[in-house]
Structure 1
Amino acid sequence: MHSLPVFLRLEGRAVILTGEGEAADAKRRLLERAGARIVGADDPEARVAIVSDGDEEMARLLRARGILVNATDNLALCDFTLPAIVERDPVLIAIGTGGASAGLAKALRQRLERWLPARLGALAEALAGAREAIRARWPDAAERRRAIDAGLAEGGMIDPLKEEAGEAVAGWLAAGADVRGAGLVPVRLLSADPDDLTLRAARLLGEADRVYHAPDVPPVILDRARADAVRIVMVQPPADPGEGLSLWLSLV
């Protein structure tokens, strides 16, 4: 990864915005939506700044003060970039290209806007409201994660691409949704290129608790697994993979 994606909570916090014109106006609207308090370059409380006209001298002065800077159209002076955003409050999806192409990020945002239901945020709120009930239903953290994964999977009771998924949360809990995906699943990789992953392999990598893999499986494949999944190098599949869903990855 060229950058670590993060979501900054800016409500009520000072953010420097410099420059004038359409670019500055667009950044101002974005900061106002996030609840930021927009201030000038001399404000001592600010820790984040957007230099909307790409002024190199201003960007360098602010960075010298330890302020994180976004300098429009000047990637070399950017500590962070601003992504294209899909908003289904409280769900936010950020699309970044590391400054390579704002047009590409915009095109992807427009596609996602069409695909994602308008009521996706209602599902997030329903799951938040049911948090204690979900914990009570599945006290074990790993089992709870697998149950949620099963419910949210394509075709599941609370599939996020279903328009009324938020209204289905109570029924999903009442039904005592199956916790699927336990055991060891062998996955034969077509190549060392992550672009050759099948949809099934990509889905399993996103769900597995452990990833057992042959020594020649490259890191770019393992990076597609959940960040908290355990990676274990082995020359053959394990006899006892442990609880939950485990994968055995090997190259064809």
Structure 2
Amino acid sequence: MTLHSLPLFVRLAGRPVILLGSGEPADAKRRLLERAGAVIVGEEAAAALAIVAIEDEDAALAAVTRLKARGLLVNAVDRPEHCDFTTPAIVDRAPVLVAIGTGGVSAGLAAALRQRLEALLPAGLGALAERLQAARPALRRRYPDGGERRRALGAAMAAGGALDPLAGEGDVARWLAADQPRPTGHVRVVLTSADPDDLTLRQARALANADRLLHHPGVPAAILDRARADAARQPWTPGLAVSDGLTVELAMA
């Protein structure tokens, strides 16, 4: 499955960004850029990014053409077909940021999703992230193997787990002292549907924690895409050797 855009978080503090236009659309982008610490500059300045919030169609497209000719990545407000990048709706639980984008297709939908997520994500989510960062050396000592460490964290942060991010701030030190290593090995998942939305919770967790996927013919890419990007993917063949870690074998019923 092809992504229409690659989501990125760009650090703009102290960096120049061109902003052209006036009125509420330009003001909204100005507030967003200032919140990110960007230095807002005019068209002739050196920059890597530009936002065009000009209402007049001809003037806006002319500005987009000039800026792209200089090699800049351009956001053209309300003109998604001319955008190299779009600005998402944001849920801020610093240092945790959740960005919701629709590729410029529907800002209203992105805003509605942001409002729903605002109600779901607790205020202490950022504090949990900071505690996990502080515990990183202890985590590496407790789980020297990266795959085992990832699986332990995945189990702790699952629904109802000791560090469930939707349930509160979580006591990382207490969890780390009491947690037990996660088993490795081979898990076979038989899919009854090609729709990723039909995955059971157990199947979704297995995919999220897998170090490698062995997939039979017929397993759709949309299912494989639910696994981590760095999980190895191999077509299944009889007698295929499996190395250490968690391997998930995917087959269709």
**Map of 2:102 onto structure 1:** 97
CA distance in 2, matches of 1:151, 1:195: 23
CA displacement, residues 95-136 of structure 1 (integer Å, 9 cap, x when unaligned): 111111111111111111111111100011111111111111
Contact 1:150 1:178 (8 Å CA) reproduced: no
**Map of 1:77 onto structure 2:** 82
Shift of 1:155: 1.6
Shift of 1:63: 0.7
What secondary structure does 2:206 align onto? Answer: helix
Instruction: State which of 199, 209, 212 in structure 2 corresponds to 1:210.
Output: 212
Aligned partner letter, 2:141? A
CA distance in 1, matches of 2:181, 2:161: 12
* 1:246 to 2:251 alignment: no
Shift of 1:185: 1.4
Contact 1:147 1:179 (8 Å CA) reproduced: yes
CA displacement, residues 74-100 of structure 1 (integer Å, 9 cap, x when unaligned): 112110011111110000011111111
Aligned partner letter, 2:12? L
CA distance in 2, matches of 1:204, 1:3: 27
* 1:158 to 2:163 alignment: yes
CA distance in 2, matches of 1:244, 1:111: 37
Contact 1:60 1:77 (8 Å CA) reproduced: no
- The more displaced of 52-61 and 31-40 is 52-61
Instruction: State which of 4, 7, 11 in structure 2 corresponds to 1:5.
Output: 7
CA distance in 2, matches of 1:193, 1:152: 25
Contact 1:215 1:235 (8 Å CA) reproduced: no
CA distance in 2, matches of 1:59, 1:239: 53
Q: TM-score, normalised by structure 2?
A: 0.93
**Map of 2:114 onto structure 1:** 109
Instruction: State which of 37, 62, 77 in structure 2 corresponds to 1:57.
Output: 62
Aligned partner letter, 2:108? G
Instruction: State which of 203, 220, 225 in structure 2 corresponds to 1:223.
Output: 225
- The more displaced of 241-250 and 106-115 is 241-250
CA displacement, residues 144-167 of structure 1 (integer Å, 9 cap, x when unaligned): 1122212212222111112232xx
Instruction: State which of 164, 167, 172 in structure 2 corresponds to 1:169.
Output: 172
Shift of 1:242: 2.8
Aligned partner letter, 1:89? A
Aligned partner letter, 2:65? R
CA distance in 1, matches of 2:105, 2:220: 26
CA distance in 1, matches of 2:74, 2:152: 41
**Map of 1:86 onto structure 2:** 91
**Map of 2:136 onto structure 1:** 131
Q: TM-score, normalised by structure 1?
A: 0.93
Contact 1:150 1:179 (8 Å CA) reproduced: no
What secondary structure does 1:139 align onto? Answer: coil
**Map of 1:20 onto structure 2:** 22
Aligned partner letter, 1:198? T
Aligned partner letter, 2:181? V
What secondary structure does 1:73 align onto? Answer: coil
Count of aligned positions: 247
The two structures, once aligned, show a CA RMSD in angstroms of 1.5
